[in-house]
Structure 1
Amino acid sequence: MSMPFYVAPEQVMKDRADYARKGIAKGRSLCAVSYDDGILFAAENTSSTLRKISEIYDRIAFAGVGRYSEFDQLRVAGVRHADMKGYAYSREDVDAQSLANAYAQMLNHTFTHEMKPMEVEILVAEIGDERAGDELFHILYDGSVVDEDRFSVLGGEADAITARLDESWADELDLGAALRAAVGALAGDDRALGADDLEIAVLARSNGRRKFARIEGEALTALLG
């Protein structure tokens, strides 16, 4: 009887992390930016049907990068989780932090127990009645959760985009300025992104009970200026 090869646990975890990061880096990046009326989401996405940014609940949005089939599976699970909690308790009891914790447990379990980790990074965002109540939870492929403040960047070019956003972001940006800052950070100095290259959405305090809305077509072109 042959003996199986021994691989140190540290090496197994490193190999899984490298595999997940390489898969995520193949896709386009995404960012979320805080502005005066809520949170803006901007992704480089030429598809009109395969969405990276979606509504989860009244005040909560979801965004993902990496392998589409995997983060869309997580989106569906999040919608079901929120609907069940809202039905069992009340709509006010559905919050981004508990949803982010549930996602973190799912991703961590897959990362540590399955042969192949999920090649995804996701973002769960919620807006409050005041800007101080806005929340951005960035969840990595291994279940790590980062509580972001001014903005959050997901994807393989996160470091470069974060550096550009750090230069252009300012407190109390309006929607147009936040959009131009986000798109400029995604594009960099050597490219230009038009309305057809982008997927844009917001969680806005002025939107009524359901805060999520997409910005498309002429409205997006006008905001891009």
Structure 2
Amino acid sequence: MTMPYYASAEQVMRDRSEYARKGISRGRSVAVLTYADGVLFIAENPSSTLHKVSELYDRIGFAAVGRYSEFESLRVAGIRLADVRGYSYNRRDVTGRVIANAYAQTLGAVFTEQMKPYEVELCVAEVGDTPAADQLYRLTFDGSIVDEPQFVVMGGQAEAVTGHLRQHFTPGMGLAQALQVGVRALSAVSPVTAANGGGHEQLPAEQLEVAVLDRRRPKRTFRRVVGAALTGLLTDQPAPADPATAEATHAPSAPAPGTPPGLGDPTAVDTAGGDPAPGQQDDGTPQQ
């Protein structure tokens, strides 16, 4: 007579944790940093359509690593929660903490009740009126939530990237400096730079997904940084004043004086700078 299989609850949870960690570690890293004018998202992502960084609401952004299909469903659910809460009550009632708590409950329930946990790690960022009011929430596969003060690193070799940022990150940096610090940290452990000989080589703009939450904008603060604007920030050179470049970076044609290249007028209403409506991306590769 065969004996029924038995595993203690502690062993089951340990196995699930190990399974989720392995899946997340296979993804490429994402760094979320605060800078003088808001929050900066930097992801190593060669895809131009399967995004790891997105907008959730007016002043709230989202970044994730792990299995794309799983964190994409969480992204869409977060957008719907924010829209329903803002419509039912008030737009000021939609905060990063509310969305982060909802994600924590969902991830915790999946981890404890289902056989397979979500292989994802999330960051919910909210930009405030001042740098002291910026909020970064890191959520792990088991529903744990941590409020990080300055930066968050997820996926891949997160510990190595975090150590690099601890040495070089300075509060109140400008956008270009913060971007260069973050990209150097990701480049130090990237398989792309390792395949090309390693050293001090930096990830090219084509391998990066970059976005910001710019507190200077009155409504939709989320903007993607692409094209010549991204290249200019990485090299600390001004981007060319070209109408095609302005359109590619979702920027108005007449930026205000002192505005970083390609990011447009911070006082103008953003009518084309964010992402389209939720749920318009197709599923893709299993790990991002």
- Which residue of 187, 206, 210 maps to 1:200? 210
Select the structure that is richer in strand. Answer: 1
Question: Contact 1:176–1:224 (CA<8 Å) still a contact in 2?
Answer: yes
Do the aligned partners of 1:21 and 1:156 also contact (CA within 8 Å) in 2?
no
Shift of 1:207: 2.2
Following superposition, the deviation at residue 3 of structure 1 comes to 4.3
Aligned residue pairs total: 225
Following TM superposition, where does structure 1 have runs of at least 4 consecutive aligned residues deviating by more than 3 angstroms?
none
Aligned to 1:209: 219
Could you say what secondary structure the match of 1:108 adopts? helix
CA distance in 2, matches of 1:4, 1:118: 28
Q: Superposed, which structure 2 residues align to 1:84-123 within 5 Å?
A: 84-123=84-123
Residues 1-225 of structure 1 aligned to structure 2 (within 5 Å): 3-188=3-188, 190=199, 191-225=201-235
Instruction: In structure 2, give the amino acid aligned to 1:203.
Output: L
SS at structure 2 position matched to 1:152: strand
Structure 1 runs not aligned, ≥5 long? none
Percent identity at matched positions?
A: 54
User: What is the CA RMSD across the aligned residues, in angstroms?
Assistant: 1.0
Residue-by-residue CA offset, 1:113-159 (whole Å, 9 max, x unaligned)? 00000000000000111111100000000000010011110113110
Q: CA deviation at 1:4?
A: 2.1
**Greater helix percent: which structure?**
1
Deviations 1:66-87 (A, max 9, x none): 0000000000000000000001
Q: Which runs of 5+ in 2 are unaligned?
A: 189-197, 236-288
Deviations 1:40-63 (A, max 9, x none): 000000000000000000000011
Distance (whole Å) between structure 2 residues aligned to residue 26 and residue 33 of structure 1:
22
* Structure 1 residues 154-195: Cα deviation after superposition (integer angstroms, max 9, x where no partner): 113110000000111112100000000000000116342011
Deviation at 1:2, TM superposition (A): 5.0
Distance 1:46 1:61 in 2: 20
Whose RCO is larger (CA < 8 A, sep 6+)?
1
TM-score normalised by length of structure 1: 0.98
Q: Is the 8 A contact 1:37 1:204 kept in 2?
A: yes
Shift of 1:217: 0.3
Greater radius of gyration (CA): 2
